[in-house]
């Protein structure tokens, strides 16, 4: 059984590796995707209750409704062909994380409600093959030790330990970082995957590890964090854009973030200010069907082709979350949306010495600007003035309050420097 599973990993690895050689342009990718989508709809989408009627019409994507996390969790059994209910899933997740031959995992719940996922053994190894092909295509040359530092473990990560060339260890960042560093140093990872705030703290604490590759994951990567991390590890930082919904993008050897269009289909819905929000149809998954699943993320796309030669579209920046758009009222009482990236830029552009901050909307007309206690009052007032000026350009005049805090304290869950707490 294990040899059969490793075959699926190898097959996925090889398919993803040769994909750019077989498909040189966007049109070729589109034709290939349409064929995969058609086969997936007929064989797998039609098998689950939630899509059975629609799929029987032999319809294209546009004929299917857009689904959300709320839809999925309200009728979890209807979206997977194993018939596993949400109640069964949560019970398994709290215990063995297995239901028969299926693996159960969950999201971190940063958006306020956690989502379940269920995958088969075959899908676990296909995921492993795909991420190896994208992130560490030369893994077979090394005996790599991979440290994954995230707030929530999942059986997906254990899959890597089934190969002779990889040893993977999970480090739970919901625990204090200083309680993990001794084990991390002893493990001596050659590959390190962690949120940027964790990577930055490792650098600032001078933790004695020297990986050959470092990946930022799970949180928004700021340019000032990137600079600190790259200088500390003396290495070019790469990104993995991954969620419980799947492996969404990985940066190439040239450092640009490519959508995983060789594993899933992306509809990019325009949301204003040149930003898009992805709707994914993951034809690589056949147990839990993610058909036109609306993500909660904001992306800025890059129209320039990549020098690496990949035909996969490039993400210029993962901006943040849809629910972190600020909702303000202008002088006429009309609702105004202010995107998180321009709020972030207002602070970053104030002064290069500002290396950490939080901007929180806690009420319809109340904004809190959190700055580290090391920040001078003059600099804080300057940053506040930048925010006030930005909101004035949108014809809004919310109250902006400065709060000095110890921002070096561990953050529970994912770090969000721009956050809207309105319900």
| Residue 94, C-beta contacts closer than 8 angstroms, at least 6 positions apart | none
- Which tokens sit at 192? 């390190």
- Cβ-based neighbours of 352, under 8 Å, separated by 6 or more: 224
Q: What is the pTM (predicted TM-score) of this model?
A: 0.90
Question: DSSP class of residue 108?
Answer: -
| Nearest alpha-carbon partner for 413 in 173, 106, 248 | 173
Q: In Å, what is the CA distance from 54 to each residue of 45, 47, 59, 252?
A: 9, 11, 7, 37
User: Could you give the domains of the chain?
Assistant: 2-319 (3.40.50.12780), 325-420 (3.30.70.2210)
Quick one: how far is CA 262 from the chain centroid?
17
Gap between the Cα atoms of 34 and 27, Å rounded: 11
List the chain pLDDT tens, one digit each, 423 residues: 455 577 888 999 999 999 999 999 999 999 999 999 999 999 999 999 999 877 665 668 888 999 999 999 999 999 999 999 999 999 999 999 999 999 998 876 655 567 899 999 999 999 999 999 999 999 888 889 999 998 766 666 666 666 777 899 999 888 889 999 999 999 999 999 999 999 999 999 999 999 999 999 988 999 999 999 999 999 999 999 988 888 999 999 999 999 999 999 999 999 988 999 999 999 999 999 999 999 999 999 999 989 999 999 999 999 989 989 999 988 777 889 999 999 999 999 999 899 899 999 999 899 999 999 999 999 999 999 999 999 999 999 999 999 999 998 766 678 899 999 987
pLDDT attached to residue 32: 97
Q: How far apart are CA 166 and CA 264, in angstroms?
A: 26
Q: Residue 335 has what pLDDT? A: 86
pLDDT at residue number 412 = 65
CB atoms within 10 A of CB 170: 15
SS3 content of the chain, % helix, strand, coil (to 5): 35, 30, 35
For residue 105, the cross-strand partners are 117
Integer Cα distance of 200 and 314 in angstroms: 25
Helix (H) or strand (E) holding 369: strand 366-372
Is residue 159 within 8 Å of 127, Cβ to Cβ? yes
**Are 405 and 372 spatial neighbours (Cβ–Cβ below 8 Å)?**
yes
Structure tokens at 182: 């001794």
pLDDT at 1: 45
pLDDT at res. 114: 76
């Amino acid at each position: 059984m294990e040899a059969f599973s490793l075959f699926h990993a190898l097959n996925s690895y090889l398919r993803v590796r040769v994909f750019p050689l077989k498909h040189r342009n966007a049109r070729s990718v589109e034709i290939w995707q349409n064929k995969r989508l058609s086969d997936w709809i007929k064989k797998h989408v039609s098998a689950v209750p939630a899509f059975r009627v629609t799929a029987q019409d032999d319809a294209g994507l546009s004929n299917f409704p857009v689904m959300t996390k709320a839809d999925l969790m309200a009728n979890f059994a209807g979206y997977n062909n194993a018939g596993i209910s949400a109640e069964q899933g949560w019970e398994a997740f709290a215990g063995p994380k297995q239901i028969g031959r299926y693996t159960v995992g969950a999201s971190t719940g940063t958006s306020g409600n956690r989502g379940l996922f269920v995958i088969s053994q075959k899908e676990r190894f296909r995921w492993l093959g795909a991420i190896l092909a994208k992130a560490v295509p030369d893994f077979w040359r090394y005996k790599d030790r991979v440290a994954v530092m995230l707030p929530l473990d999942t059986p997906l990560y254990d899959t890597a330990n089934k190969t002779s060339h990889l040893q993977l260890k999970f480090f739970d960042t919901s625990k204090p970082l200083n309680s993990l560093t001794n084990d991390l140093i002893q493990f001596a990872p050659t590959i390190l995957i962690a949120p940027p705030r964790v990577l930055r703290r490792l650098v600032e604490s001078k933790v004695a590890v020297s990986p050959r590759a470092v990946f930022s994951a799970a949180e928004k990567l700021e340019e000032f964090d990137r600079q600190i991390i790259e200088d500390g590890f003396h290495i070019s930082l790469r990104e993995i854009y991954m969620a419980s919904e799947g492996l969404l993008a990985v940066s190439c050897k040239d450092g640009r973030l490519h959508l995983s269009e060789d594993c899933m289909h992306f509809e990019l819905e325009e949301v204003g200010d040149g930003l898009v929000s992805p709707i994914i149809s993951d034809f690589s998954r056949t147990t839990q069907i993610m058909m036109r699943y609306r993500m909660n993320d904001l992306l800025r796309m890059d129209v320039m082709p990549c020098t690496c030669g990949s035909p996969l579209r490039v993400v210029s920046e993962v901006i943040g979350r849809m629910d972190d758009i600020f909702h303000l009222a202008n002088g006429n009482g009309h609702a105004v949306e202010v995107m998180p990236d321009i709020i972030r830029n207002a602070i970053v552009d104030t002064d290069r010495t500002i290396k950490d901050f939080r901007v929180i909307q806690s009420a319809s007309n109340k904004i809190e600007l959190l700055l580290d206690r090391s920040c001078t009052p003059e600099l804080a007032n300057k940053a506040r003035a930048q925010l006030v000026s930005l909101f004035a350009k949108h014809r809004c005049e919310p109250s902006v309050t400065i709060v000095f805090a110890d921002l070096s304290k561990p953050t529970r869950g994912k770090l969000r420097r721009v956050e809207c707490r309105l319900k």
